[in-house]
Structure 1
């Protein structure tokens, strides 16, 4: 599909900039068990990957008839942040990709379903904050979280870029659907350590992202031309 040259790359955070999803899913499963909800990480990934805390609470209430209160959220956040400070790692070669975008004159930002506090903690723990502190966008800034397009449209407007000149890098079905609804090209990144969940690959491919890749540096092959990226994955 013809399009104008790429001017802005919008990164999701969890699973795209930082390898946080396995930690987050483990913490969530443990916390749900306290509420009497038995679920493995596959089930948690299928239901919650890429969604906001508010969306997670809605799913739990609808499916399990369990209310997620502020005490639960505070305890989960405390457990998650403690593990992030000890264990969280950046996605391999992400800093090389950022340098490549800078060399090409392409802007970048992060737009995540997480609260800004969590985004900044994740980026700080992995040494990435200086690259993104100019442009951090959280789902708390918009009315509707992913899979609605609100966050990506908000980020593009704040960065002064038309949606047709944006590429979104996402790892979740909800995020891919949000980017597509925003009229943006979307690259599915499948290099995080959470991508082996049973339902993950099928849900991702069913949405037909414009590209899919396992190595982050492959993104640089997609952003220089005037067309939507082609799928360079080996699958």
Structure 2
């Protein structure tokens, strides 16, 4: 399909800039087990991948009739942050992609379902914080998190970009739905360690993102001005 020149690239954080999802899913599964909810990492990914804390808590309440209180969230957050500081790794090639976007005059930012402190911790732990400060947007800044389009529309407005000239880089079904609802092009990044979940692959295929790639530097094929968006979904 014909596309406008890209004005803004909006990166998700978890699973796109940092390889955090396997750690986060393990911590979530362990925390839910304490509440008597027995699900595996694949089940957790199917239900919660890419969603905000508020959305996750509501989903748990509806499906399992278990309330997620502040004590639960605090303990889970402390466990997660401790593991991030020790284990978290950046997605290879992010620094080179950002440098290339800057050279082409294309703006970039991060828009994540996580709280801002978690985004900043993740980026700092992986050496990426300086590349994205101050253009960091959290779901806490809007009324409705992903899969609603609010966060992406907020980021575009703050960055002075037309939604139709924005490209979103997402790894989660919830994020892809949000980008599509915002009227933005969306590329599915499948280079994170969590992308082997069967439910994830099925959900991704059903949503039909504009393109799909698993090496971060391949993103540069899709943002270099007007033309056609090549579908890389079988790569």
Q: TM-score, normalised by structure 1?
A: 0.98
Q: Residue 43 of structure 1: SS of its match in structure 2?
A: helix
Counterpart of 1:124 in structure 2 is: 124
Counterpart of 2:194 in structure 1 is: 194
Deviations 1:91-138 (A, max 9, x none): 011111111111111000000000000000000000000000120000
The answer as to 2:170 corresponding to 1:170 is: yes
User: For 1:54 and 1:227, how far apart are their aligned partners in 2?
Assistant: 39
User: For 1:228 and 1:48, how far apart are their aligned partners in 2?
Assistant: 33
Unaligned runs of 5+ in 1: none
Matched-pair contact (CA < 8 Å) for 1:210–1:228 = no
Deviations 1:210-230 (A, max 9, x none): 000010100001001314522
Counterpart of 1:4 in structure 2 is: 4
The answer as to 2:218 corresponding to 1:204 is: no
Counterpart of 1:98 in structure 2 is: 98
Deviations 1:60-115 (A, max 9, x none): 00000000000000000000000000000000111111111111110000000000
Counterpart of 1:81 in structure 2 is: 81
Matched-pair contact (CA < 8 Å) for 1:113–1:145 = yes
Counterpart of 2:31 in structure 1 is: 31
Counterpart of 1:137 in structure 2 is: 137
Q: CA RMSD in A?
A: 0.9
Number of matched pairs: 235
Q: Residue 51 of structure 2: SS of its match in structure 1?
A: coil
Deviation at 1:49, TM superposition (A): 0.1
Q: Residue 231 of structure 1: SS of its match in structure 2?
A: coil
Unaligned runs of 5+ in 2: none
When residues 178 and 227 of structure 1 are mapped into structure 2, their CA distance, relative to the original with a 3 A threshold, is farther
Counterpart of 1:218 in structure 2 is: 218
Counterpart of 2:147 in structure 1 is: 147
User: For 2:42 and 2:117, how far apart are their aligned partners in 1?
Assistant: 26
Q: Runs ≥4 in structure 1, deviation > 4 angstroms?
A: none
User: For 1:130 and 1:3, how far apart are their aligned partners in 2?
Assistant: 30
User: For 1:74 and 1:115, how far apart are their aligned partners in 2?
Assistant: 13
